[in-house]
Amino acid sequence: MIARVNWVDEACRKTIDKIERTSLSIGASFPNGSAQGRYEKTPAHDWVSGFWPGLLWLAYEETNNVRLKELAVECERQISQTLWEFEQLHHDVGFMFGLSSVNQYKHIQDEEAKRHALMAASLLAGRFNPAGGFIRAWPNWGGEDHSGWAIIDCLMNLPLLYWASREIDDPRYRHVAELHADTVLREFVRDDGSVHHIVSFDPETGKRIGELAGQGHAADSAWARGAAWALYGFTLSYSYTGKEKYLEAAERVARFFLDHLPEDKVPYWDFRLPDFGKDTPRDSSAAAIAASGLLDLAVAVQGEESKEYRQQAEAILHSLYNHYGAWEADEEALLLHATGYYAADVYVDAPLIYGDYYFVEALLKLKKL
């Protein structure tokens, strides 16, 4: 058993101190991945835009530093403007508005932010295809027809729908979320607990066409971050609905994820590659996402299973803190060695803002346990 109190407290202190420092240079902008020690910025409609305000709110909770709150509020203002860039938007409004507008409403009771989040939830629900029972992921980017594509990551956008249903006391959004989660459970999760990244459906009939590699190595491989999204996403659907089928799915994916980790508990970017060598890139973001999901899973179950999930999450976070942290380096990010999109050569073996977000989220959960 790792001596938890000391390292977790120390890691929380270091990460929060670093966010306070880097907020001076990052300001109210939208970091994506880091290159040469500095975060590259992306427009407010990019799927990652919620993670920096999300980090600012996490740090604000710990410090009460008003400057962090003001930066988060300015980020939310910019993200809310994207509601008028309707054609650019996509299913990841769940990440974007959940981490910015919903957080803002929760922390400072901002009714305008609540309205933005409800509009985003309506937009997300509007992407639902009733013939196939799935939420369409993306617009036709690059001229490619995406009208029948659903992706595993979308499980993480469903909490915006569950939240909206509770907020306005109307089950419609929850129904959409559950119908999508049921489709993902049926069509994406393999018997061994690994998952597909993209499944394509005929948008007219809803019939499954087939699966695509997406950001994974191949259609039949096991993209590590996809598994992490599924583990955490099904756990969230269970915690919002209490439906055992989502808990069983989360546990099946968690078993696959944990059984395929290398010794240092941080996965290679895909669990099924033709060969693994010492230069195969890791994905520290997948490790951070899975650790945060495992801590929720540990709360959802009892006894030995709960203990195991918590210990595994702790071991992952300990390894990230000790071997993947950018504590001494001249680097704005917190975690090194993530992989964004290997095949497109986008942020391979680089820091990613969502790796940082889930690392801090998980550390703070662990501290509070």
Could you say which of 9, 145, 153, 192 is catalytic? 153
Question: What values do phi and psi take at 151, rounded to 5?
Answer: -130, 155
Q: Least Å distance between CB 4 and ligand GLY? A: 29
Here's the x/- map for ligand GLY, 145-164, by CB under 6 A: it reads as --------x-----------
Q: What is the distance between the alpha carbons of residues 21 and 131, in angstroms, rounded to a whole number?
A: 49
Q: Least Å distance between CB 9 and ligand GLY? A: 30
Q: Which residues contact 132 (CB under 8 A, 6 or more apart)?
A: 148, 150, 183, 201, 202, 203, 205, 206, 207, 208
In the DSSP assignment, the letter for residue 281 is P
Could you say which of 9, 46, 92, 275 is catalytic? 92
Q: Least Å distance between CB 346 and ligand GLY? A: 9
Q: Does 356 bind ligand GLY (CB under 6 A)?
A: no
Question: What values do phi and psi take at 155, rounded to 5?
Answer: -55, -30
Q: Does 91 bind ligand GLY (CB under 6 A)?
A: no
Q: Does 225 bind ligand GLY (CB under 6 A)?
A: yes
* N- to C-terminal Cα separation, the chain: 15
Helix (H/G/I), strand (E/B), else coil: 239: helix
Q: Does 215 bind ligand GLY (CB under 6 A)?
A: yes
Complex with ligand GLY: residue 217 or 225, whichever CB lies closer? 225
Task: Answer for the pair 275, 232: CB distance below 8 angstroms, yes or no.
Answer: no
Complex with ligand GLY: residue 16 or 224, whichever CB lies closer? 224
Complex with ligand GLY: residue 16 or 290, whichever CB lies closer? 290
Instruction: Tell me, yes or no, if 356 is annotated catalytic.
Output: no
Q: Least Å distance between CB 215 and ligand GLY? A: 6
Q: Does 282 bind ligand GLY (CB under 6 A)?
A: no
Q: Least Å distance between CB 207 and ligand GLY? A: 25
Q: What is the distance between the alpha carbons of residues 219 and 199, in angstroms, rounded to a whole number?
A: 9
Task: Answer for the pair 116, 103: CB distance below 8 angstroms, yes or no.
Answer: no
What is the identity of the amino acid at 281?
P
CA separation, residue 88 to residues 81, 153, 174 (Å): 12, 18, 24
Complex with ligand GLY: residue 152 or 326, whichever CB lies closer? 152
Closest Cα partner for 185 from 138, 243, 224, 129?
243
Helix (H/G/I), strand (E/B), else coil: 236: helix
Instruction: Tell me, yes or no, if 92 is annotated catalytic.
Output: yes
Complex with ligand GLY: residue 60 or 256, whichever CB lies closer? 256
Binding residues with ligand GLY: total (CB under 6 A)? 3
Q: Least Å distance between CB 269 and ligand GLY? A: 11
Catalytic residues: 92, 153
Binding site for ligand GLY (CB under 6 A): 153, 215, 225
